[in-house]
Amino acid sequence: MADLLSDLRPAEAWHGEGVLHLPGFADAAAIWDAVQPVLEAAPFRHLVTPGGKAMSVAMTNCGRVGWVSDRSGYRYDPVDPLSGQAWPDMPDLLRAVAQRAAAAFGAADFDPDACLINCYDVGARLTPHQDRDEQDLGQPVVSVSLGLPGRFVIGDTTRAGPKQAILLEHGDALVFGRSARLAYHGVLPVKTGTHGMIGARRISLTFRKAG
Ligand SMILES: O=C(O)CCC(=O)C(=O)O
Ligand SMILES: [Fe+2]
């Protein structure tokens, strides 16, 4: 007998054994609600790269530690440099969706302690990089997308290697790990548009086991 939900929802897609795209995986409205108190306590801000340039993506965090960048480098820090306080706790609903996505990837023991929240205004981008500030590279990275579509590009472990683009839409989850854990990835400039719930921007929540 046909499963009604799986008929309505686009299928999950593996890109090799290291990248799993889960279209429409998350309850985006519930996630957006849960993020509001985080944004009140720790608003989006444009971090500065070690080279001194402001990033086009605005960022904040929740969880035990948060990812920060400044003139001295990149790191996970338990303190929000803007408030001088601990980052807001990771809401249970966020942790749960990240764990559910990781389980679909085969990482049932994923226990994130950091959630980096990225805000892309129209035109903002993230140039290809590796996520390598986490201690245990055996754990995957899970992202959940909200708002305008994002063209996520991911390649191999070399900066210049060929990349494929995966369109990430409102409510999609993406997991990368194993052979793709150190793959170079980024987000192309977000195209003009307005999303009914999120406005003229894309927001991604990226969950990691940092420590
Ligand atoms: O916004 C995304 O989907 C990816 C973000 C990312 O690569 C990161 O936060 O390290
Ligand atoms: Fe990344």
Q: Distance (Å, rounded) from C-alpha 202 to C-alpha 193?
A: 10
Residue 70 CB coordination number (10 Å): 14
Q: Write down the CATH superfamily of domain 11-208.
A: Alpha-ketoglutarate-dependent dioxygenase AlkB-like (2.60.120.590)
Give the pLDDT score at 90. Answer: 98
Give the pLDDT score at 4. Answer: 60
Domain assignments of the chain as residue spans, ordered by start: 11-208
ipTM score over 0.90, yes or no: yes
**How large is the average pLDDT for residues 5-24?**
86
DSSP-assigned letters across all residues of 30-73? HHHHHHHHHHHHS--B--B-TTSPBPSSEEEEEESSEEEEETTE
Task: Quick: pLDDT tens for 38-57.
Answer: 999 999 999 999 999 999 99
Task: Quick: pLDDT tens for 75-90.
Answer: 999 999 999 999 999 9
Is 143 near ligand 1, meaning CB less than 6 Å away?
yes
Annotated ligand binding at 174? The verdict is no
Q: Which atom of ligand 1 is nearest to the CA of 202?
A: 1
